[in-house]
């Protein structure tokens, strides 16, 4: 039995736990938000400015989901105007190294994947 099978299939409930977590962190925005929060806590507006292309609604939803999962913490300060800051939890910080490795892999292999997709598509027509 391979290491993958031991970890992903047997130890992890037939893969359900892994699929559930990958659904969360593998969505379009979660890893970008996590990576952006890597070095410092941020206010919502600053975070939105640092994550290119994310809408206010999607950032709010992503932060809410990450907070629910225990990866991001939200601190609200009773000031006028109200101030809210977000930061990674200790568990959220453990995602940085795998996230950076995945990002590096994606950047390195994106041209190859694009080339393979074009070749595949040309054979299908």
pLDDT along the chain (125 residues), means of 10: 71 72 84 90 95 95 95 94 94 90 90 96 91
* CA 69 to centroid of chain Cα atoms: 12
Q: Which residue has the tokens 């130890």?
A: 11
Going through the chain in order, the beta strands assigned E by DSSP cover 42-43, 72-77, 83-88
pTM of the model: 0.80
Domains detected in the chain: 28-94 (1.10.10.10)
Q: Residue 94: what pLDDT?
A: 94
């Amino acid at each position: 039995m391979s290491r993958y099978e031991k970890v992903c299939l047997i130890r992890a409930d037939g893969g359900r736990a892994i699929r559930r977590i990958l659904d969360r962190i593998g969505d379009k925005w979660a890893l970008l938000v996590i990576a952006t929060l890597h070095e410092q806590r941020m206010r919502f507006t600053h975070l939105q400015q640092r994550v290119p292309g994310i809408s206010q609604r999607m950032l709010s939803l992503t932060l809410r989901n990450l907070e629910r999962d225990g990866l991001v913490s939200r601190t609200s300060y009773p000031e006028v105007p109200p101030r809210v800051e977000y930061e990674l939890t200790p568990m959220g910080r453990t995602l940085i190294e795998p996230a950076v490795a995945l990002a590096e892999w994606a950047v390195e292999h994106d041209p190859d994947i694009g080339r393979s997709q074009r070749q595949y598509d040309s054979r299908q027509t």
